[in-house]
């Protein structure tokens, strides 16, 4: 088996057989001609399957060590499809500190259809056990969590939920397959917002599921085809193109993350920095066991909420925008952006207050990013 960095460059099909094309062709066709009655080339209609999308799906299955891959028009499309594995009345335990859009989808839509969700700090295993009921059929975790960078033990969760034949789903968006492969640790399904590190250039939306469960594959394929949140050929190509440099980019994101986290920690106007790459991160040992690195995601509390508007107005290189994982560094204010859908009490108990800032370190030079922050974070005159 070749190393991940090599696999990312070549994908599942290094050269297209028909033409020798090295870059996967963009099959911009809605429909495909049948050779004869009852015959198919394997492609009938692009909502069901498309060759460019398939290249991405099979490549992601290779990268995440699964048998099957499915690509969607967004991460939310992928997550929504995974819920089709459950029935109304089923109970799912979900990380409390997770992407706000996932909370909204579960709480404002699926909860009304009779699915039951418990929001739990899954980094604390006792809390998972305490939330478990006879009808618990699934665990949905984000690790590291968003935005508090708490780490959940994937193997422990998998062993636990498998005892009652439930499923463990891991949202691996923050680390990408370069740093973490949840299926190897026992997870049943790995899901990504391909919009983030996978495509990596803030230029497309995409969602990915990878798994190895034959029965579930039938359910997921059917749901994907029926609901139609499938990834367009050009967006599949952009994601494939992004993946070629995943290893290079992740290395630089992490290098910048380490430098910027250290800079922020030493800043007198910063109260606390949340970064899994710190040796004294509360779950450092677990994170070193289950992941190979830390990406470029950092959150921190400023000492005063009044610093926030000044910081967001003053950054120049680091762009004030939602999202993460692209080559451009982005700064986010979770309270009003990614986490605005989460009720106040729950948001505060998860740690998302009015002084919390999240940075996705891009691949610019760290010194320039630090210079940008230095000019933007107020220093209290004493
Ligand atoms: C962005 C994100 C999503 C949603 O993905 P979209 O591509 O925006 O639909 C899900 N999970 C995490 C962790 C994310 O960061």
With the most atoms of ligand 1 within 8 angstroms of its CB, the residue from 122, 195, 201, 324 to mutate is 195
The closest-lying atom of ligand 1 relative to the alpha carbon of residue 194 is 7
Interval between CA 246 and ligand 1 midpoint (Å): 18
99 lines ligand 1 (CB under 6 A): yes
What is the rounded CA–CA span in Å between residue 261 and residue 379?
A: 17
Catalytic residue, candidates 47, 241, 259, 272: 47
With the most atoms of ligand 1 within 8 angstroms of its CB, the residue from 196, 198, 202, 295 to mutate is 196
The closest-lying atom of ligand 1 relative to the alpha carbon of residue 78 is 9
Interval between CA 113 and ligand 1 midpoint (Å): 22
Decide the pairing of beta strands 189-193 and 207-211: antiparallel
Active site residue 265: no
Ligand 1 atom 4, closest CA: 75
Q: Which distant-in-sequence residues (6+ apart) come within 8 Å of 102 by Cβ?
A: 76, 79, 94, 140, 142, 171
271 three-state secondary structure? strand
- Nearest Cα to 316, choosing from 261, 243, 375? 375
pLDDT at 375: 97
With the most atoms of ligand 1 within 8 angstroms of its CB, the residue from 76, 324, 326 to mutate is 76
207 lines ligand 1 (CB under 6 A): yes
Neighbours of 344 (CB within 10 A): 10
Which H or E run contains 177? helix 176-179
146 lines ligand 1 (CB under 6 A): yes
What is the rounded CA–CA span in Å between residue 350 and residue 343?
A: 11
Interval between CA 209 and ligand 1 midpoint (Å): 12
pTM (2 d.p.): 0.97
Active site residue 99: yes
Active site residue 121: no
What is the rounded CA–CA span in Å between residue 221 and residue 69?
A: 10
273 three-state secondary structure? strand
74 lines ligand 1 (CB under 6 A): yes
Q: What is the pLDDT along the chain (382 residues), one digit of tens a residue?
A: 899 999 999 999 999 999 999 999 999 999 999 999 999 999 999 999 999 999 999 999 999 999 999 999 999 999 999 999 999 999 999 999 889 999 999 999 999 999 999 999 999 999 999 999 999 999 999 999 989 999 999 999 999 999 999 999 999 999 999 999 999 999 999 999 999 999 999 999 999 999 999 999 999 999 999 999 999 999 999 999 999 999 999 999 999 999 999 999 999 999 999 999 999 999 999 999 999 999 999 999 999 999 999 999 999 999 999 999 999 999 999 999 888 888 899 889 889 999 999 999 999 999 999 999 999 999 976 4
pLDDT at 381: 62
Interval between CA 192 and ligand 1 midpoint (Å): 7
Domains of the chain: 4-243 (3.40.640.10), 246-376 (3.90.1150.10)
Query: Burial code of 77-96, b = ≥16 C-beta within 10 A, e = fewer?
Result: bbbbbbbebbeeebbbbbbb
pLDDT at 353: 95
Active site residue 167: no
Ligand 1 atom 5, closest CA: 75
In the sheet that 91-95 helps form, which strands lie side by side, from edge to edge?
68-72, 207-211, 189-193, 167-171, 136-142, 91-95, 116-120
């Amino acid at each position: 088996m070749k190393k991940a960095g090599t696999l990312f460059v070549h994908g599942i099909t290094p050269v297209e057989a028909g033409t020798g094309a090295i870059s996967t062709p963009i099959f911009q066709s809605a429909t495909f001609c049948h050779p004869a009655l009852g015959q198919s080339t394997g492609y009938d209609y692009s909502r069901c399957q498309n060759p460019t999308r398939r290249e991405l799906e099979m490549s992601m299955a290779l990268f995440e060590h699964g048998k099957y891959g499915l690509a969607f028009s967004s991460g939310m499309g992928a997550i929504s499809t995974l819920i089709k594995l459950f029935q109304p009345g089923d109970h799912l335990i979900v990380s409390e500190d997770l992407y706000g859009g996932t909370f909204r989808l579960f709480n404002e839509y699926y909860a009304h259809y009779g699915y039951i969700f418990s929001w739990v700090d899954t980094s604390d295993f006792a809390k998972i056990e305490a939330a478990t009921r006879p009808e618990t059929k699934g665990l949905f975790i984000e690790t590291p969590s968003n935005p508090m960078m708490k780490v959940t033990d994937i193997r422990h969760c998998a062993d636990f939920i498998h005892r009652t034949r439930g499923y463990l789903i891991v949202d691996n968006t923050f680390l990408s397959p370069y740093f973490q492969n949840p299926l190897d640790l026992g997870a049943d399904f790995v899901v990504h917002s391909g919009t983030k590190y996978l495509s990596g250039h803030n230029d497309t939306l995409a969602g990915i599921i990878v798994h190895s469960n034959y029965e579930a594959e039938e359910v997921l394929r059917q749901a994907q085809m029926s609901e139609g949140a499938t990834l367009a050929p050009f967006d599949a190509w952009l994601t494939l193109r992004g993946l070629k440099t995943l290893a290079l980019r992740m290395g630089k994101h992490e290098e910048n993350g380490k430098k910027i986290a250290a800079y922020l920690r030493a800043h007198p106007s910063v109260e606390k920095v949340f970064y899994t790459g710190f040796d004294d991160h509360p779950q450092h040992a677990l994170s070193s066991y289950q992941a190979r690195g830390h990406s470029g995601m950092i959150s921190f509390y400023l000492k005063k909420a009044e610093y926030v508007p000044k910081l967001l107005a003053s950054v120049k290189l680091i762009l004030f925008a939602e999202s993460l994982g692209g080559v451009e560094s982005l700064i986010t204010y979770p309270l009003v952006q990614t986490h605005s859908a989460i009720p106040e009490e729950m948001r505060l108990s998860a740690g998302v207050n009015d002084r919390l800032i999240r940075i996705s370190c891009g691949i610019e030079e760290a010194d320039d990013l630090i210079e940008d922050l230095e000019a933007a974070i107020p220093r209290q005159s004493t």
